[in-house]
Amino acid sequence: MSPIGTESNPLRVAIVGAGPTGFYAAEHLFRQKDLVVEVDMFERLPTPYGLVRYGVAPDHEKIKSVTKQYDKTAANPRFRFFGNVNLGQDISVADLCRFYHQIVYTTGAQTDRKLTIPGADLTGSHPATEFVAWYNGHPDYVDYQFDLTQERAAVIGIGNVAMDVARILCRTPEELASTDIADYALEALRHSNVKVVYILGRRGPAQAAFTTPEIKELGEMAGADIFVLADEAELDAISQEEMKTADRATQRKVEIIQSYVHNQRTEKPKQLYLRFLVSPVELIGNEAGQIVAMRLVRNELYQTESGAVRSRYTDQYEEIPVGLVFRSIGYKGVPIEGVPFNDSWGVIVNEAGRVLDPTTKEPVVGQYTAGWIKRGPSGIIGTNKPDAVETVTCMMADLAEGKVNQPAQPDKAAVTAFVDECQPKRFTYEDWLKVKAAEIALGEAQGRPRVKFTSVDEMLAVAHDS
């Protein structure tokens, strides 16, 4: 038989997860010189793009232009998309091993880290991930309910996702109406009674995880004033020392934060309070089990022996009235049956992308991972590109040494026949492009970038009836 990676014996690769990392891995595989590779991408939803479609905020349309590059990768004749196919339900890891030399898991971080304080499970307390998926039209979340009759909301966390949630709560209906926010979410937010939003960070301005554009944008909203408390904006000695070696982006971020201290109340209908050095220690409910307030503790910063800046509680407490709470304090991956997983870290057990046997610590031949499910939820979309490259580099090194899975049926037709039997309603990339075109057409009629289909049945109907 010809060597693997030749025209008569292509390297067969399965990528599980159609988000940015999956496409970056496919792109880098196709760039390998003197290698014939066939990539099949599996995704449990009919739609590709992952968090670019269901995680990026509706009012950040420019970020979504990265999907043009993904479409170019998908146009490669050696690329195939198997959408609406759920690994662990429709097919298994053992099934993939029958057809592929290498498997790459790029399934992301799909759940949130829990809030471990009294009252965390009261009515009105939600993971930010659920709210984000809801307003972005994720099919799994269209029926979720959020009590937008409440006047005060709090977002726990100070990363970009927390900023997105706060911003969407504060946007005017007119601002949201020009985006691709899900129609039902637009209608619900149009009637929102939320007037005050708190963003709560446990550390100071110098340690804030959000990016400079995010904080600048908060000060430019049409319907909300932003406020920062003077004592919380002031840098302590530890932060001042950090700022001496901080990059220009961090310096600018702190400058913007501190400029908001001087803001005055205007006639805008909503107020956004960006708080620092506070942590929630209790959610307080009424007799009906509904959140009515949050107890906060004032924090102070300290440095560990390694030099890391951490926060710790003081003896100062306060209560703020809130009826709606979103936690954005970190995310975790979901285990895949048959793939070694670290429950504490929420990632696949791996080294530089090679999946490891947790007992022997040796690589599992032919299995790899990339993205958030590999390293945890860190960085922005573009961070996943070098991460994917690292994994593909390991894949190529293993291929050169003959360390690949030996599939029983390394044949495209065999995969197609098997998947069609397991999931007759699978989606091809051509099916997706039909849905995409229909969404854009609906959007053009309303002056919006697209109007999303939010149910699998709708997408199937558009793809197969056109």
Domain residue limits, the chain: 11-110+333-427, 113-330
pTM for this model (two decimals): 0.94
- For residues 395 and 369, the answer to whether their CB atoms sit within 8 Å is no
377: pLDDT strictly greater than 90: no
Number of H helices, E strands in the chain: 17, 20
* One-character DSSP codes across 284-322: EE-TTSBEEEEEEEEEEEEE-TT--EEEEEEEEEEEEE-
Residue 294's pLDDT band (cuts 50, 70, 90)? very high
- pLDDT at position 245 is 93
d(CA 371, CA 381) in angstroms, rounded, equals 10
For 274, the token pair is 């960006």
d(CA 404, CA 136) in angstroms, rounded, equals 39
DSSP state of 206: G
- pLDDT at position 112 is 81
Closest CA to 219 of 187, 259, 188: 259
User: What does CATH list as the number for 113-330?
Assistant: 3.50.50.60
375: pLDDT strictly greater than 80: yes
Closest CA to 44 of 440, 421, 419, 463: 419
d(CA 19, CA 106) in angstroms, rounded, equals 7
For 296, the token pair is 């906060």
466: pLDDT strictly greater than 80: no
Average pLDDT of the chain, as a whole number = 95
User: What does CATH list as the number for 11-110+333-427?
Assistant: 3.40.50.720
403: pLDDT strictly greater than 90: yes
Q: The sheet that has 291-303: what strands, in order across it?
A: 278-285, 291-303, 309-321
What are phi and psi for residue 314, nearest 5 degrees? -105, -165
210: pLDDT strictly greater than 80: yes
- For residues 367 and 355, the answer to whether their CB atoms sit within 8 Å is yes
d(CA 270, CA 193) in angstroms, rounded, equals 10
What are phi and psi for residue 236, nearest 5 degrees? -80, 180
Mean pLDDT of 52-80: 96
pLDDT tens string 74-112: 999 999 999 999 999 999 999 999 999 999 999 998 788
